[in-house]
Amino acid sequence: MRFVQLYHRGWDSHGTSPGDDIVHSLPQRCKETDQATAALLKDLKQRGLLEETLVVWGGEFGRTPMNEKRNNSMYLGRDHHPRAFTMWLAGAGVRKGITIGATDELGYNVVEDKVHVHDLHATILHLMGLEHTKLTYRFQGRDFRLTDVAGTLVQKLLA
Give the tens place of pLDDT for each residue, 35-49.
999 999 999 999 999
Q: Band of the pLDDT at 133, cuts 50, 70, 90?
A: very high
> Among residues of the chain, what percentage have pLDDT more than 90?
46
Supply the pLDDT for residue 30.
87
DSSP-assigned letters across all residues of 33-87: HHHHHHHHHHHHHHTT-GGG-EEEE--SSEE-SS-EE-TT-SSEE--EESS----
Mean local confidence (pLDDT), 45-54: 93
Q: Which residue has the higher pLDDT, 156 or 10?
A: 156
The pLDDT of 137-154, averaged and rounded, is: 90
Any idea what the Cα angle at residue 83 is, between residues 15 and 74, rounded to 5°? Answer: 15
Q: How confident is the model at residue 98 (pLDDT cuts 50, 70, 90)?
A: very high
pLDDT at 15: 67
pLDDT of residue 26: 81
User: Could you tell me the pLDDT band of residue 132, with boundaries at 50, 70 and 90?
Assistant: very high
Residue 1, pLDDT > 60, answer no
Q: Which residues pair with 88 in a beta bridge?
A: 57
Average pLDDT score, the chain: 86
The tens digit of pLDDT for each residue in 66-94 reads 777 777 777 677 777 788 888 999 999 99
